């Protein structure tokens, strides 16, 4: 029974280490991709092999900025005083 528990703990530890290694690997690839993108946009990295991926990133960026602008616009249209009447007017005597 103790051997089973030790085996389970060992497997759980190995699984945890594997997940940490995978997360670090993904983070390193993300950083590498961000650096390659920045270099390509600066003209310091040839883009002929990356043109499709760069165009996709640019399109997604434009889409995200449009969504963000729409959310900002929607936030500006809310009546804060009506939504939170308990706040009242702090300037009243």
Convert the chain into a string of H (helix), E (strand) and C (coil). Answer: CHHHHHHHHHHHHHHHHHHHHHHHHHHHHHHHHHHHHHHHHHCCCCCCCCHHHHHHHHHHHHHHHHHHHHHHHHHHCCCHHHHCHHHCCCCCC
Helix count (H) and strand count (E) of the chain?
Answer: 3, 0
CA distance 9 to 3: 10
Kindly list the distances between the CA atom of residue 69 and the CA atoms of 56, 65, 74, in Å, as whole numbers in the listed order.
20, 6, 9
What is the per-residue pLDDT across 44-57, written as a single tens digit (0 to 9) for each?
999 899 899 999 99
pLDDT of residue 29: 96
Where do the domains of the chain lie? 1-45, 46-82
Q: Helix, strand, or coil here: 35?
A: helix
What is the per-residue pLDDT across 27-42, written as a single tens digit (0 to 9) for each?
999 999 999 999 999 9
pTM listed for this prediction? 0.59
């Amino acid at each position: 029974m103790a051997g089973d528990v030790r085996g389970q703990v060992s497997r759980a530890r190995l699984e945890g280490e594997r997940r940490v290694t995978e997360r670090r690997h993904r983070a390193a690839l993300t950083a590498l991709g961000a650096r390659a993108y920045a270099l390509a946009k600066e003209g310091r990295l040839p883009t002929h092999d990356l043109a499709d991926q760069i165009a996709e990133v640019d399109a997604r960026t434009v889409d995200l900025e449009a969504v963000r602008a729409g959310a900002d616009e929607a936030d500006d249209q809310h009546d804060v005083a009506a939504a939170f009447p308990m706040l009242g007017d702090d300037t009243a005597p």
